[in-house]
Structure 1
Amino acid sequence: MNQSPTAPVLALGNIRKSFGGVVAIEDFSLTIAPGEIVALVGDNGAGKSTLIKIISGVYVPTSGSILIDGEPVAMSSATKARENGIEVVYQDLALAEQQSVYMNLFLGREMTKGPLGQLDRKSMIAETQRLVDELDVRIPSPHATIRDLSGGQRQGVAIARATHWAKKLILLDEPTAALGVAETAKVEAIIAALKARNIGVLIISHSLDQVFRLSDRICVLRRGKQIGIRTTAATDKNEIVSMITGLNAS
């Protein structure tokens, strides 16, 4: 890889998205560096999910630019986003509940061997074990069925899958919304470990406590408009709340 350590893995420039006469995103710009965790915050309807869908190729922006490693790309489909090293973990996780952990990790991208293209289960199991060990995802075994896992374990598997395939960036949409305190802490540890892999992370979260624990920078959206970006260590919850609501925090 020829990029410099400071080159952003993602650069959004003046992104605008409208649906007919409704403007969902207006003039949004953001860069994410390798190994940087950026939190995207705002009330419901602020445009956070729309922005995630633009980066992941579900929506094509009405105008503006998307650069990956400094090169402009047309993120015209989810397949195109994956080809550019971007993976998404949605709230519903998109896991096949009846399948094993290792089959979920390689869902749609199974490893094969031999002239007949037989499934290379041994290699997939070994790679799954290596990855869950590296990320410290506590599952009984790669053979375990998804439906038998806890919410935190399932979330860990979804993040492990994204980590395996992502080369540049992982998008996380409310990754711990349905989890208890202990499982949330475990998933947050997995997310924090992504920094060591030099993968950029964009996380949507309604929990400001979580945002301040995990993020390097915080980007605030309100009604489709980018209100501002703050370095996490240089701001506080009062300022972020006032940016989200448009009211002065007491």
Structure 2
Amino acid sequence: MNNLALEFINISKSFPGVQALKEVSIQIKKAKVHAIVGENGAGKSTLMKIAVGELLRDAGTIKVFGQEAQISSPSDGYHYGISLIHQEFSLVPSLDIAQNIFLGRELIKGYLSFMDNHQMYKRTEKILESLKMFHLDPHLKIKDLTVAQKQVVEIAKALSLNSKIIIMDEPSAALTLEETRRLFELIRELKEKGVTILFISHRIEEIFEVADEVSILRDGELILTKSVAQIDRNQVISNMVGRSLEFFFPSKVEQKKEAKIILEVKNISKRRQFSDVSFQLKEGEIIGLAGLVGSGRSEVALAIFGLNHLDAGEIYLQGKKVNINSPFEAIKQGLALLPEDRRELGLIIVRSVLENLSLPALYWDIARRYFIDLKRELTIGRKIQKELSIRFASFSQKAESLSGGNQQKVVVGKWLITKSKILIMDEPTRGIDVGAKLEIYNIVNTLAQRGIGIIFISSEFTEILGVAHRILVMSEGRITTELDPKSSTEEDILKFATRKKVS
């Protein structure tokens, strides 16, 4: 009896200038959690998109439950019972949760084929209750949800299809530790019900917690498939990157005693988001801003950058009080922001890589008398590509076609050509593989050596401890404590991330 749910046989796929997949063959067993790992650009997302019909394979065969499948469109994928939960959200902001879940397959009633809204909202409520993560109202608009809540809606959408094979691409990237634990409980429940899960994650520890088997891709080729019980963390990492790799954080830049205060935030508040937040940032200092999803970290970052107008409080740059009411004013004052949602706020995804890289510097550096200096723009673009090892076919390639890791590198790169004195990085390694994370950490260190002050926001407490000179912990919109990374642990951060402000 065939015990395979899904089988890839010699799958190949190429794009202009890039061989994305080279004769990849993987067997996925029924009612198992099979992890697919690899660096950015390894071919993971391409293979998964082929499985659901979002991309057409150049060669090879796909079998679903032992039968050869002709999958050439997303509707074919649904027909074979395969759903893909994307790393980046595919939701309509202006519609509510129920409308998004049933979009394109609305329930109807009566001879006149009216939409059966009652049943759609009733079924949505039942699905959301089964997730046990959030108490979400099916009538809530997507635009009013947090990143974590949007991820929950994506999971609910897949469950609504009663899929027998669910592909999860970085499902926990925006979730807190508690939400991730509940997600894993849900995955185990689905497995017990006979559902097969393909689990893609850059968090290696998650693979060992939830997966039964793991397949490792590198440069579009399958390196190995093994039971999780037969492989350890170091072996996974070394096979991903093609070399022995001791995961570490680079030595922190030593702060100068005479370093000046370049940013001071005094008692800033925003109704229902954060309250009475105060801190100082010095030249070459890396401040870690830690907390759970919804603690107010991102909202503080947006406020400093002029995207979130303050109700109270003051901001000082180089000792002078400033009023930053727009990103343009923030950039003019020497601030830069890497936003949490890179696709929505960090990139113009329908424009080219080069246009995205040069955008912040157009006004001050690249434009000459209202005309863009194309030669200088290309020169700067090449420099940034080399410095960050950004992988793409050409500078004219649209940003939306890049892998998640390369998109993030473009967001980082566009600020390297500005003369920013303060850099706010909100979840800069979200959805990025081990090798790319190390590159980001090295970039952070390099910028600190140049005297740039950095606010580093992350949900990964190990990362905060490894990168920051000092840590500010937020909970319920307030700073609850300041910690020294040298004498603190993840448990210390979590303790203060789940309590109210300490007097």
User: Would the aligned equivalents of 2:87 and 2:171 in 1 still touch at CA under 8 Å?
Assistant: yes
Counterpart residue identity of residue 160, structure 2: H
Identify the range of structure 1 (46-55 vs 93-102) with the bigger mean alpha-carbon deviation.
93-102
Q: Structure 2 vs 1, CA of residues 119 and 94 (structure 1 numbering), >3 Å: closer, same or farther?
A: same
Superposition RMSD in Å: 1.9
Cα distance in 1 for residues equivalent to 2:189 and 2:142: 23
Cα distance in 2 for residues equivalent to 1:24 and 1:157: 30
Counterpart residue identity of residue 93, structure 1: F
Cα distance in 2 for residues equivalent to 1:233 and 1:15: 27
Match of 2:74 in 1: 78
Query: 224, 228, 232: which is aligned to 1:228?
Result: 224
Q: Does 1:208 align with 2:214?
A: no
Cα distance in 1 for residues equivalent to 2:122 and 2:203: 35
Cα distance in 2 for residues equivalent to 1:79 and 1:95: 17
Match of 1:156 in 2: 152
**What do residues 136-183 of structure 1 show as CA deviations (whole Å, max 9, x unaligned)?**
242232222223333322212211110121432111111222333333
**What do residues 75-128 of structure 1 show as CA deviations (whole Å, max 9, x unaligned)?**
111121111111111122212222222212111111010011111111112211
Q: Does 1:240 align with 2:209?
A: no
Identify the range of structure 1 (173-182 vs 55-64) with the bigger mean alpha-carbon deviation.
173-182
Q: How does 1:76-225 map to 2 (within 5 A)?
A: 76-225=72-221
State the Cα distance separating 1:16 from its structure 2 match: 1.6
Query: 13, 17, 20: which is aligned to 1:17?
Result: 13
Cα distance in 2 for residues equivalent to 1:19 and 1:157: 31
Q: Structure 2 vs 1, CA of residues 54 and 174 (structure 1 numbering), >3 Å: closer, same or farther?
A: same
Match of 1:51 in 2: 47
Cα distance in 2 for residues equivalent to 1:65 and 1:39: 20
Cα distance in 2 for residues equivalent to 1:22 and 1:153: 35
Cα distance in 2 for residues equivalent to 1:19 and 1:161: 30
Counterpart residue identity of residue 29, structure 2: A
Once the two structures are aligned, what percentage of the paired residues are identical?
35
Cα distance in 1 for residues equivalent to 2:90 and 2:181: 22
Q: Structure 2 vs 1, CA of residues 155 and 188 (structure 1 numbering), >3 Å: closer, same or farther?
A: farther
Q: Structure 2 vs 1, CA of residues 217 and 98 (structure 1 numbering), >3 Å: closer, same or farther?
A: same
State the Cα distance separating 1:249 from its structure 2 match: 4.9
Q: Does 1:39 align with 2:41?
A: no
Q: Structure 2 vs 1, CA of residues 103 and 137 (structure 1 numbering), >3 Å: closer, same or farther?
A: farther
Q: Structure 2 vs 1, CA of residues 20 and 145 (structure 1 numbering), >3 Å: closer, same or farther?
A: closer
Cα distance in 2 for residues equivalent to 1:127 and 1:15: 37
Q: Structure 2 vs 1, CA of residues 172 and 70 (structure 1 numbering), >3 Å: closer, same or farther?
A: same
Counterpart residue identity of residue 241, structure 1: I
Give 4+ residue runs of structure 1 displaced > 4 Å after superposition. none
Q: Structure 2 vs 1, CA of residues 128 and 204 (structure 1 numbering), >3 Å: closer, same or farther?
A: same
Cα distance in 1 for residues equivalent to 2:192 and 2:210: 13
Identify the range of structure 1 (220-229 vs 120-129) with the bigger mean alpha-carbon deviation.
120-129
User: Would the aligned equivalents of 1:41 and 1:220 in 2 still touch at CA under 8 Å?
Assistant: yes
Q: Does 1:60 align with 2:52?
A: no
Indicate the SS of the match to 1:9. Answer: strand
Could you tell me which runs of 5 or more consecutive residues in structure 1 were left unpaired when the two chains were aligned: none
Indicate the SS of the match to 1:129. Answer: helix
Cα distance in 2 for residues equivalent to 1:116 and 1:8: 43
State the Cα distance separating 1:21 from its structure 2 match: 6.2
User: Would the aligned equivalents of 1:41 and 1:205 in 2 still touch at CA under 8 Å?
Assistant: yes
Q: Which has the larger radius of gyration?
A: 2
Counterpart residue identity of residue 117, structure 1: S
Indicate the SS of the match to 2:20. Answer: strand
Counterpart residue identity of residue 35, structure 2: A
State the Cα distance separating 1:191 from its structure 2 match: 3.0
Q: Structure 2 vs 1, CA of residues 99 and 19 (structure 1 numbering), >3 Å: closer, same or farther?
A: closer
Cα distance in 1 for residues equivalent to 2:235 and 2:32: 22
State the Cα distance separating 1:241 from its structure 2 match: 0.9
Tell me how many residue pairs correspond in the alignment: 246
- Higher RCO (CA-CA < 8 Å; seq separation 6+): 1
Counterpart residue identity of residue 119, structure 2: S
Cα distance in 2 for residues equivalent to 1:95 and 1:191: 22
Q: Structure 2 vs 1, CA of residues 205 and 214 (structure 1 numbering), >3 Å: closer, same or farther?
A: same
Q: Structure 2 vs 1, CA of residues 185 and 148 (structure 1 numbering), >3 Å: closer, same or farther?
A: farther
Cα distance in 2 for residues equivalent to 1:223 and 1:9: 25
User: Would the aligned equivalents of 1:34 and 1:168 in 2 still touch at CA under 8 Å?
Assistant: no
